Amino acid sequence: MNKDMSYTGVMGRRSEIMKQAVGIDYSVFEYGKIGFDYEKMMRETGYTLQEMQEIQGQTGVGNTPLLELKNLTALARKLTPEGKGARIFIKDEASNPSGSFKARRAANAVYHAKRLGYKGVIAATSGNYGAAVASQAAMQGLKCIIVQECYDSTGKGQPEIIEKARKCEAYGAEVVQLTVGPELFYTFLKLLEETGYFNASLYTPFGIAGVETLGYELAMQCRERLGKDPDVVVCTNAGGGNVTGTARGLIKAGAEGVKIVGASVNLKGLHMASDEQFNKKSFTTGHTGFGMPFATWPDRSDVPRSAARPLRYLDRYVIVNQGEVFYMTEALAQLEGLERGPAGNTSLAAAFSLAQEMDKDQIIVVQETEYTGAGKHLQAQLSFAKENGIQVIFGNPAEEISGVNIILPAHPSLLKAKDIEMDKLRASYIKNCVENNRVTEIDSADVSFMVADSKFNKEMVLDILQQMGVTVVD
């Protein structure tokens, strides 16, 4: 009997397709009406830290250098009162085989796919992860398909995404490029079902666990070189895996006192699934269009239970504007001789601002860099912005309006990271738990899960539940 391959038919088989393509029965971890045993899921389907290091080492992933940005630190100190201006370091993840930290996730995911006997892997991503999966699949001798949301309805593609497609194809992957819209997930599911390939999702336990080596390495390198742990680590935040994996690695290194800061590019007002607005943005990842919704509802991802849970680990969340990231990209190249792509420079722009709040003897680390290329270069992005009617000027980036202009700082003192109110994000997460699970009554175990998953005060959680008319029973 032929299967129903319509949109409704395929989406109706989503859970069945995912279970087959990931090899995890997520139901064994679930309890109550909302909760699941997160740590059990990470233990039983992930790998130990030592195993991850060995897996990654086999394909040249990891052990990337920790670099001090002495010239950017000096510039930051010129803008601060005496005694302020923390030392700025970066973990140079562009040194990985595919040019980004995503190689750590991909190494584990592809290794796991081969171990389970899959013939190929599929990933739905417009970011660096596609190149990482393609690179690792080539090394492991597996087939690879990357599904990208690349074009608007006129066929105009984002230069950064097109560059990543070029890189994926260079590694031998088949790249399926789509217009913005709901067909991305439908096509992804259909390909998983038709091919029987492994879903090399960004959000599986073994994918997220792969990033733990980054946090662990970072702590060890700081201790060896500086004699202490960093005070602050800044992670570019999109789907939450970068924050989650890095924080878990730091904890495994015993560096529990390190403050974890997430940083995203401010794209307020632009809808990520809007055809008309798709090319109005100059960043394809690391922005609020992913960072906010995935923080407040992690399970919107392509697996039933996402292993990326950023609110569990974030101490602070800041945003920077597009012009500030482009400015910092140029500053890194001209002051430090390092030409790197925009994702890591989002965190670097934030770190440059945050370092000015900190004392001179403190350490702030940007935990990733990424490769750059023709389409990812700031000139390509700014030219594309102008072609799409975006004004590019120098001035005060605080006045930037997403989709209207990009304002490069007229002076480095104008580069300022802006805080997001964490309690609002945590409250939104609790509300999403209730609404998406359609509950009116839960037990205390569910409450404990939400407290841990949101890093929220229990009394605040109970207050929100009461406001929403949810009864808690023991």
DSSP line for 100-113: STHHHHHHHHHHHH
Residue 102 and residue 214: Cα distance in Å, rounded?
10
pLDDT class for 275, splitting at 50, 70, 90?
Answer: confident
Contact 199, 248 (CB under 8 A): no
Residue-wise pLDDT for 47-66, tens only, equals 899 999 999 999 999 999 99
What is the overall mean pLDDT for the chain? 94
Which residues touch 55 (CB under 8 Å, ≥6 apart)? 47, 107, 108, 111
**The pLDDT of residue 407 is above 70:** yes
Give helix 159-170 / helix 128-140 axis angle, nearest 10°: 0
In the prediction, which pLDDT does 16 show?
86
Which residues touch 462 (CB under 8 Å, ≥6 apart)? 447, 472
Q: How far is CA 209 from CA 25, 44, 378, in A?
A: 18, 12, 31
| Domain covering 55-99+206-419, topology | Rossmann fold (3.40.50)
C-beta atoms surrounding 15 within 10 Å: 11
Cα angle 119-285-383, degrees, rounded to a multiple of 5: 115
Mean pLDDT of the region 19-41: 93
In the prediction, which pLDDT does 1 show?
52
In the prediction, which pLDDT does 107 show?
96
> What are the helix and strand counts (H, E) for the chain?
18, 15
**The pLDDT of residue 236 is above 60:** yes
Tell me how far the alpha carbon of residue 321 is from its chain's centroid: 17
Residue-wise pLDDT for 373-402, tens only, equals 888 899 999 999 999 999 999 999 999 999
Residue-wise pLDDT for 424-470, tens only, equals 999 999 999 999 999 999 999 999 999 999 999 999 999 999 999 99
pLDDT class for 4, splitting at 50, 70, 90?
Answer: confident
In the prediction, which pLDDT does 187 show?
92
Delimit the domains of the chain by residue range: 55-99+206-419, 433-473
Q: What tokens appear for 103 in the block?
A: 């190689």
Residue-wise pLDDT for 177-233, tens only, equals 998 877 888 899 999 999 999 999 889 998 999 999 999 999 999 999 999 999 999
Which residues touch 258 (CB under 8 Å, ≥6 apart)? 219, 229, 230, 231, 232, 233, 250
Closest CA to 197 of 264, 261, 146: 146
